[in-house]
Chain A
Amino acid sequence: MKSQFESNEEIRRFLLGTLSPEEAAEFEERLLGDSELYEELSVAEDELIDQFLSGEMPAFERERMETHFLRTPERMKQLSFARTLRNYVSANKLEGPARELKPEKKPSFWSTIFSKNPGLAYSLAVALLLVLVGGVWFTGRLLNRPTQPQTVWAIELTPGLQRDDAEIKSFSIPATVDTIRLELDLAEDQYPAYQAEVQDIEGRSVTSSKNLKAQTANARSIVAVDVKAALLEHGDYRAKLSGVPANGNLANLGSYPFKVLGK
């Protein structure tokens, strides 16, 4: 019988089409009659897609994903769904453990101590009251302060050739940053409005913004595009900028490649 690790490895190789023909045939015959194996295979499919999207995958496997695994419309749909789920979870991150996952309640260390020593309990209660009064005062001071703005990080981008790595601006996103402001360099402000779309390496839209106006930053004309940091994972992207003339016919103003190295 195969270990869990061997089974997972075999399933992964089957999905990526790297088992030998004999191994694959043997695996397929098992798959026909084994419901658990079928479900494991489905789970592994989702995990492969998630790893592909997060950039955790070695280059060889990534290449197999692109040339072998992602060949069918159904799997492209799975990829698209996985990307949406990923963005959704990032944007709606839960804090702390899930409600239903709370461990069983056991008698605490303090309740054990207090039941044995009521005097100690009284002294600690007084101390706690003092801390609470101080806490209320301090919280009041904090609430009266102006609210902290979102942390926005500006990245200056110039239009460039995607294939030339030297041209591509690369950066990591600090954990404290909420929004990345892409400042797209304009050679000349010719249009009353602009629109921009940020796409990932596969050309899928990450976000888009319409009715943008040209601004001046450090004596340069730019168009600023705000992108939520949660939408940007490790990987290559480009911002496509278009000018919107009065007649509404879009003019392509170029592509601004950039690379997110991580968070």
Chain B
Amino acid sequence: MNKDWILTQESFEALLTWLDPNREVAGRKYEEIRLRLIKIFACRGCYEPEDLTDETINRVTNKLREIGATFTGEPARYFYGVANKVHLEYLRRKPTPPSIVATESSEEAERQYQCLDRCVSKLTPENRELVMHYYQEDKRAKIEHRKHLADRLGIAVNALRIRAHRIRLSLQDCVQECLKEAAA
């Protein structure tokens, strides 16, 4: 991979301008593309999806002078084409698995639990109750329980899934922040 080329502020500005003349819209598009590429690389079973995404973005940015004036269409498609090339090169390198620490000490587990407790207490009462009810049961009981919960809320089960997922994401972010603070 070409790791020598570094994304400068100037080239990043050029990338944003290419994505959209409105800076706010461009920033949003950039983040959407980045997250989707990370997901795509992860779902292809790559070990370092973030690195491959950065490499893809660097290459696109580096090509902007050539393609900026002539390219028509959705920029995300161009990123996708470059991502496919980056992926092929990655496969040719026969990547070795990184050493992911699979074990977690009881202290780490305890810290995470304490952080979660703190983060749950920051939720609104409605969100706290929803998340505690939603993740309560397993297997068949879970399906019935969630149907019942959705009925009570007056929403579809799928809408309930998404609502619970968003609260879960916010909790996960909060716990990560809390763990960082504890480590600092």
Contacts and interface: CB of A to CB of B under 8 A. Distances in A.
Interface string B79-102: 110000000000000000110111
A101 B45 contact: no
A198 B101 CA distance: 18
Main SS of the interface on chain A? Answer: helix
Contact of A89 (B77, B135, B162): B135
A134 B138 CA distance: 40
A31 B40 contact: yes
Interface stretch (A35-43, A156-164, A178-186): A35-43
Nearest to B151: A103
A41 B45 contact: no
B35 A38 contact: yes
A206 B106 CA distance: 7
Given A32-B33, A38-B35, A84-B116, A43 B165 contact: yes
Contacts of A47: 161
A97 B152 contact: yes
A25 to B, nearest CB: 9
Contacts of A97: 133, 149, 152
Interface string A59-82: 000000000100111111110110
Given A32-B36, A32-B80, A93-B132, 20 more contacts: A39-B165, A41-B39, A43-B161, A56-B139, A72-B42, A72-B48, A72-B49, A74-B42, A81-B172, A84-B116, A93-B136, A94-B129, A94-B132, A94-B133, A98-B152, A100-B126, A101-B129, A199-B103, A205-B105, A205-B108
Nearest first, the 7 A-B pairs at minimum CB distance are: A98-B129, A101-B152, A208-B106, A205-B106, A203-B103, A43-B165, A32-B76
A33 B104 CA distance: 37
A171 interface: no
Contacts of B153: 101
Given A81-B172, A88-B117, A98-B129, A4 B44 contact: no
Interface in B139-184: 139, 149, 152-153, 158, 161-162, 165, 168-169, 171-172, 175-176
B43 A15 contact: yes
B62 interface: no
Nearest to A68: B45
Contacts of A202: 102-103
15 contacts: A31-B40, A43-B162, A73-B100, A81-B172, A85-B135, A88-B113, A88-B120, A97-B152, A99-B126, A204-B102, A205-B105, A205-B106, A205-B109, A206-B109, A208-B106
Contacts of A100: 125-126, 129-130
